[in-house]
């Protein structure tokens, strides 16, 4: 069971990095194969260019995109970790969605309509936010973000989003609050480690 973690945070000392490290260690301790893709370290090009569109029209993809698609294809679970900026992911991750989850790979339009390319795979999203979670939730922003990312992007491709966590007030969080968040990450890792081992109804 291979787990792919894609994360986008330019701060190597930020809490997203700690989340990724904690989750990866928990999965590896369970004997899982974990592949980490830090989009900033990779200097991933987020721009869907005219050249990209031309290649996609020929049922092909750029070399850097193919590499990411192969990792997704090999993974059973894909986890995305990133901070919320202006109610969405950093531009580098949005560009990853644009270029990697492209037509002809993540989905296609057949004679009977939409054909989802990533059916059978699980997805997880972990977000950090500057303000309190409750502030986003009471204004309907949490629901809006879930609709856009969970449904509009990931589930559209056939990915099943089994968890979407939001960790609020991260810029002012105490060590105690961060420790609480990391306990949730460890617990999530334990649940993810059971995919393919236990009946999902007993876990999720």
Model pLDDT for residues 121-136, shown as the tens digit of each residue: 999 999 999 999 999 9
How high is the mean pLDDT in each 10-residue block of the chain (204 residues)? 95 95 96 96 96 90 95 97 96 97 93 92 97 93 96 97 96 95 97 76 53
Query: DSSP secondary structure string, 37-98?
Result: EEHHHHT------HHHHHHHHTT---HHHHHHHHHHHH-SEEEEEEE-BTTB--HHHHHHHH
β-pairing, 107-110 vs 113-116, is antiparallel
Q: What is the pLDDT of residue 201?
A: 57
Place of tokens 């054909």: 115
Find the length of the chain: 204
Taking a C-beta distance cutoff of 8 angstroms, is the pair 27, 189 a contact?
yes
Please calculate the CA angle 127-130-136 and round it to the nearest 5 degrees: 75
Q: What is the pLDDT of residue 59?
A: 86
Taking a C-beta distance cutoff of 8 angstroms, is the pair 16, 83 a contact?
yes
Q: CB count, 10 Å around CB of 146? A: 15
Q: What is the pLDDT of residue 200?
A: 55
How far apart, in Å, do the first and last CA atoms of the chain sit? 18
Q: What is the pLDDT of residue 19?
A: 98
- The H or E element containing residue 192 is helix 175-192
CA–CA gap between residue 193 and residue 184 (Å, rounded): 14
Per residue in 83-106, pLDDT (tens digit) is 999 999 999 999 999 999 999 999
CA–CA gap between residue 77 and residue 120 (Å, rounded): 9
Report phi then psi at 34, rounded to 5. Answer: -120, 130
């Amino acid at each position: 069971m291979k787990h792919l973690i894609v994360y986008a945070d330019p701060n190597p000392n930020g809490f997203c990095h700690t989340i990724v490290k904690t989750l990866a260690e928990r999965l590896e301790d369970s004997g899982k194969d974990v592949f980490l893709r830090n989009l900033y370290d990779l200097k991933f090009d987020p721009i869907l260019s005219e050249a990209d569109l031309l290649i996609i029209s020929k049922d092909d993809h750029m070399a850097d995109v193919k590499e990411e698609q192969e990792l997704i294809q090999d993974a059973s679970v894909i986890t995305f970790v990133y901070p919320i900026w202006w109610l969405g992911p950093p531009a580098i991750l949005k560009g990853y969605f644009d270029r990697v989850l492209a037509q002809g790979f993540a989905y296609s339009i057949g004679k009977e309509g939409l054909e989802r390319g990533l059916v059978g795979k699980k997805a997880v999203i972990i977000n950090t936010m500057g303000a309190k979670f409750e502030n986003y939730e009471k204004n309907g922003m949490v629901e809006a973000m879930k609709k856009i990312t969970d449904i509009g992007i990931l589930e559209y491709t056939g990915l099943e989003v089994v968890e979407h966590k939001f960790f609020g007030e991260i810029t002012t969080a105490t060590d105690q609050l961060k420790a609480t968040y990391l306990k949730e990450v460890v617990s999530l890792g334990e649940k993810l480690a059971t995919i393919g081992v236990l009946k999902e109804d007993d876990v999720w």
